[in-house]
């Protein structure tokens, strides 16, 4: 059986809305896939920076058809947000909680406030995070992201 493909001689104009929607979907799908693999296989900071540079270059060199009408304020973001999903935030909170409890287990003389205890345990927590192969550390930004209290005093 032979099938012939017939193409129209008229080209259809590409609308900005359709193109931007498709591009946005590709970015969101790519970000979801990357987040999945990052959560199950944390990479080194060097390879993450290298991958981001390659992705930025690929997006910057993407070609838009000459007949497409592109508006300056079309609202297309060339770089996907690197926000952590709720599952990853919960995983990190649980890991900090476990390591925090390890640090204070068997200790009778504890500071009265949770913030003071967390401040004292921070160096231990970061050492254990590094030993477990985690690429993130407990710092001011991470505390805010995990809804933990900020440091009561500056680290000495």
Model confidence pLDDT, tens digit, residues 105-130: 988 899 999 999 999 999 999 999 99
Report pLDDT digits (tens) over 16-63: 666 667 677 777 787 777 776 666 555 545 545 555 555 555 544 555
| pLDDT at residue 79, rounded to an integer | 41
| pLDDT at residue 84, rounded to an integer | 74
pTM of the entire structure?
A: 0.46
- CA–centroid distance for 32 within its chain: 9
Give the CA-trace dihedral at 58, 63, 68, 73, to 10 degrees.
40
Q: Max alpha carbon distance in the chain (Å)?
A: 85
Show the CA angle centred on residue 94, arms to residues 91 and 98, nearest 5°: 140
Nearest Cα to 68, choosing from 19, 26, 14? 14
């Amino acid at each position: 059986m032979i099938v012939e493909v017939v193409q129209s001689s008229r080209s259809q104009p590409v609308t900005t809305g359709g193109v931007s929607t498709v591009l946005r979907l590709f970015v969101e799908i790519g970000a979801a896939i990357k987040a999945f693999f990052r959560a199950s296989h944390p990479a080194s900071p060097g390879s993450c920076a290298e991958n981001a540079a390659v992705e930025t270059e690929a997006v910057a060199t993407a070609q838009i058809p000459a007949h497409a009408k592109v508006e300056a304020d079309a609202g297309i973001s060339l770089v996907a947000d690197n926000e952590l999903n709720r599952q990853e935030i919960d995983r990190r909170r649980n890991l900090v909680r476990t390591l925090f409890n390890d640090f204070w287990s068997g200790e009778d003389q504890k500071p009265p406030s949770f913030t003071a205890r967390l401040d004292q345990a921070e160096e231990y927590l970061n050492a254990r995070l590094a030993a477990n192969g985690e690429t993130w550390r407990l710092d001011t930004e991470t505390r805010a992201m995990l809804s933990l209290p900020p440091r009561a005093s500056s680290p000495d």
